[in-house]
Amino acid sequence: MKAKIPSGLKAPGRKFYKQVLEEYDLPETHDLERLFMAAKCLDEIADDEKTVKEEGRFIEDRFNQKREHPASKAIRDNKTLFCRIIRELALDITDPGDSRPPRQY
């Protein structure tokens, strides 16, 4: 069964979703939903990175204090979530060779 790329994904998410489907067999519906969530993370990261690039990494709050742009936190959060989803899907399991000990999950 060949899964369709769901609507609602932008270019980064669509590219990732399509590439994963070409490289891995994900027949379960819950795995496809996780893949969709990971692709959405990539879309949100791209949007937030564009916002930070346009508005700057730091902004002034109402007290005229420099603060990190809220989109920077969203970028970090989405990157963390993306990595966790990839780990849950076991897409990152490769033989690390002698460079590091094997993963414990």
Q: What pTM does this model have?
A: 0.83
Residue 88: closest CA among 12, 8, 44, 33: 33
Residue 65: per-residue pLDDT:
97
Residues of the chain with pLDDT below 50 are none
Q: pLDDT tens for residues 33-56?
A: 999 999 999 999 999 999 999 999
Quick one: tokens of 98? 């002698």
**What does the pLDDT read at residue 83?**
95
